[in-house]
């Protein structure tokens, strides 16, 4: 086991460091971390708009909640739309900003160009006349994520290349205000980039009768749907927990995973608001509330076992770590027990998440447990977050069962760790 761990450490850490420093992935990761507030706000609105009242409900609170949601459906749906439903729009702005920051480019003009390009390629015109502009904003949510990433990265890279090579640069006298100098200096650059965006829009609209985003979704929908499966969920469970075992924070994977997890959440939220079936199972709230109960390594179950330990040092770790683990913070137990680089706890650290996502995915895909459509907070305890994310009381029961299963998985390895700790103390 130690040879295997040493081999993984030598091969995995260099790759993880390269991924963590890749500028485009860093921009995507930082963007999703930054736009969490409107996503959480949209999640709260989605919960308010989804009263868990069924036909025959006699509970006064549930009936009042359902009536309030019904009477204010338009308002609540709009609030959800302009927050969680505009996810791709905010992602486009964020990636553009962070890439500009990386290249030390003043971000205002690239952001304006990126917004114009994104609008051009995602919004579909319905009716255009004097004083009346109607457009279809269907692809502003998670469905337009690939377009948002493409437009933002392409805009910044093109802007940087054109300005560095002084393509079409217009020099103004020193007496001209700086703002006007910037505007004229980037005029040709702006025209070139938007011309390319326009060409993409024109080609799609003339040949397909729809926008660029619609065309891309039709072409890539099989690949997008392929990410929402039990295999992906298990692979994520293995990779993230394996990395955490070596002290590699899961944030390095956000550049890859966030567009998928938040994209599917956004689509589920839109479907919930529209009263249609939720299309996806694997979302950010699925992973956060069901896959890692107590943080990476499923430390809530392990924290409970620590509290039951006869060893004073391990019990102390449990006392210090159980409350943070309840709120999804695993660090006190991960580094205090420790789990990190501990060969005895290597298997259960990964196996618990694999079991959790497998059981949860099968139950949700079979429609036995409701699917997730809201994300309240990373630190929302799973026992509460599971309910608010699904609106299904059965999800709470599932969390309790999963915690018990995680304890059973951890138990023999925990006892072996306890024994190894005793032997080391005696020496």
pLDDT in tens, 27-76: 988 888 888 788 878 878 887 887 765 566 666 777 888 888 888 888 98
Tokens of residue 378, six digits? 């990373």
For residue 229, give the nearest of 416, 391, 364, 415 by alpha carbon.
Answer: 364
Residues forming a β-bridge with 127: 134
pLDDT in tens, 261-303: 888 898 898 888 888 999 999 999 999 999 999 988 899 999 9
Across 139-153, 220-234, 252-266, the highest mean pLDDT is recorded for 139-153
Q: Among 245-249, 331-335, 352-356, 417-421, where is mean pLDDT lowest?
A: 245-249
The predicted pLDDT at position 4 comes to 59
| Higher local confidence (pLDDT), 301 or 10 | 301
Three-state SS string over 69-96 comes to HHHCHHHHHHHHHCCHHHHHHHHHHHHH
Residue located via tokens 């009477």: 71
The predicted pLDDT at position 251 comes to 66
Distances in Å between the alpha carbon of 122 and those of 111, 142, 159, 206, 212? 16, 12, 21, 15, 6
CB count in 10 Å sphere of residue 227: 18
pLDDT in tens, 391-414: 899 999 999 999 999 999 999 999
Q: Are 147 and 121 in contact (CB under 8 A)?
A: yes
pLDDT in tens, 338-383: 887 788 888 899 999 999 999 999 999 999 999 999 888 777 889 9
CB count in 10 Å sphere of residue 378: 17
């Amino acid at each position: 086991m130690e040879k295997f761990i040493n081999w993984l450490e030598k091969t995995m850490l260099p790759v993880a460091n390269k991924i963590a420093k890749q500028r485009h992935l860093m921009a995507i990761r930082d963007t999703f971390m930054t736009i969490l507030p409107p996503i959480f706000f949209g999640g709260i609105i989605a919960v308010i708009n989804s009263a868990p009242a069924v036909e025959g409900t006699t509970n006064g609170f549930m009936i009042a909640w359902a009536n309030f949601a019904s009477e204010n459906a338009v308002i609540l749906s709009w609030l959800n739309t302009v927050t969680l439903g505009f996810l791709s729009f905010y992602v486009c702005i964020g990636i553009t900003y962070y890439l500009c920051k990386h290249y030390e480019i003043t971000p205002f003009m690239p952001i304006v160009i990126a917004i114009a390009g994104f609008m051009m390629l995602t919004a579909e015109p319905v009716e255009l006349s004097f004083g009346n502009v109607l457009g279809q904003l269907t692809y502003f949510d998670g469905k337009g994520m690939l377009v948002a990433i493409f437009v933002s990265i392409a805009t910044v890279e093109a802007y940087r290349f054109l300005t560095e090579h002084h393509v079409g640069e217009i020099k103004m006298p020193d007496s001209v205000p700086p703002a006007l100098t910037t505007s004229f200096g980037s005029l040709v650059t702006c025209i070139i980039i938007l011309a390319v965006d326009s060409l993409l829009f024109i080609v799609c609209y003339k040949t397909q009768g729809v926008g660029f985003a619609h065309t891309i979704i039709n072409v890539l929908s099989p690949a997008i749907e392929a990410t929402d499966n039990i295999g992906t969920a298990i692979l994520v469970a293995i990779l993230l927990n394996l990395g955490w075992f070596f002290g590699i924070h899961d944030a390095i994977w956000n550049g890859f995973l966030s567009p998928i997890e938040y994209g599917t959440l956004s689509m589920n939220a839109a479907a919930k608001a529209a009263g249609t079936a939720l299309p996806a199972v694997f979302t950010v709230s699925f992973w956060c509330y069901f896959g890692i109960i107590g943080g990476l390594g499923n430390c809530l179950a392990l924290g409970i076992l620590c509290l039951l330990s006869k060893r004073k040092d391990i019990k102390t770790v449990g006392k210090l770590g159980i409350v943070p683990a309840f709120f999804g913070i695993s660090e006190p137990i991960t580094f205090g027990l420790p789990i990190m680089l501990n060969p005895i706890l290597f298997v259960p650290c990964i196996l618990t998440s694999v079991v959790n996502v497998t059981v949860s995915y099968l139950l949700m895909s079979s429609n036995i447990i409701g699917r997730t459509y809201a994300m309240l907070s990373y630190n929302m305890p799973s026992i509460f977050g599971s309910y608010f994310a699904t609106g299904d009381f059965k999800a709470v029961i599932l969390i309790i069962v999963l915690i018990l299963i995680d304890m059973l998985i951890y138990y023999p390895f925990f006892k072996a760790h306890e024994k190894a700790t005793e032997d080391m103390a005696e020496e």
